[in-house]
Amino acid sequence: MLRKTIQRSTLYVSYIGMILLIPMMLLTSAEVVGRAVWSQPIPGSMELSRYMLAVFILLGIAYTHQVRGNVRVTMIISRLPKTLAAALDVLTSLLSLFIIAVMTWQGWVVGIEERTVSDMLRVPQFPFRLLVSVGGLLLFLELLLELGDNLKKLARR
């Protein structure tokens, strides 16, 4: 039940990021056409594209981990004994949890304290800084699920 809730939340949050790809694509296309045809760039389009890309990445990172879309090099681990490989998976999960916990915590601290705005459009920076902690929290929960799976795997060995 908890696993499904976490995975469903991760999926729905990643949809928010995915939806922003369409306006980012349209804005970039309009920018290119405006520059090429009329020599008129769209003011602030680079800022907006950067923000939309940040939202896409930060809200999609947990889903990428959930579907195992990240790069994993198994060249060495596949040659180790199964018990040692399972123990290394547990260790890797624990280290990842620690790193993501620190990232989530610091993302929150920096996001709350942030008062700056963008140069051209004067967009506040704090919502995008807070997305680091939102994406980090979802990734932390996904890593917790993975740690549980790895511990079960290790216990079976």
155: part of which helix (H) or strand (E)?
Answer: helix 126-156
Number of neighbouring beta carbons within 10 Å of residue 70: 9
Q: Calculate mean pLDDT across residues 129-139.
A: 95
pLDDT (tens digit per residue) in 145-155: 999 999 999 89
Phi, psi of 117 (to 5 degrees): -125, 165
Rounded-to-integer distance, Cα 25 and Cα 101, Å: 33
Structural domains in the chain (count): 1
- pTM for this predicted structure: 0.88
Q: What pLDDT, on a 0 to 100 scale, did the predictor assign at position 74?
A: 82
Q: Residue 121 corresponds to which tokens in the numbers above?
A: 């459009």
In the predicted structure, residue 23 carries a pLDDT above the cut 90:
yes
Q: Determine the structural domain holding residue 109 and report its residue range.
A: 2-156
* Residue that has been written with the tokens 């970039």 in this structure: 28
Q: Calculate mean pLDDT across residues 51-69.
A: 93
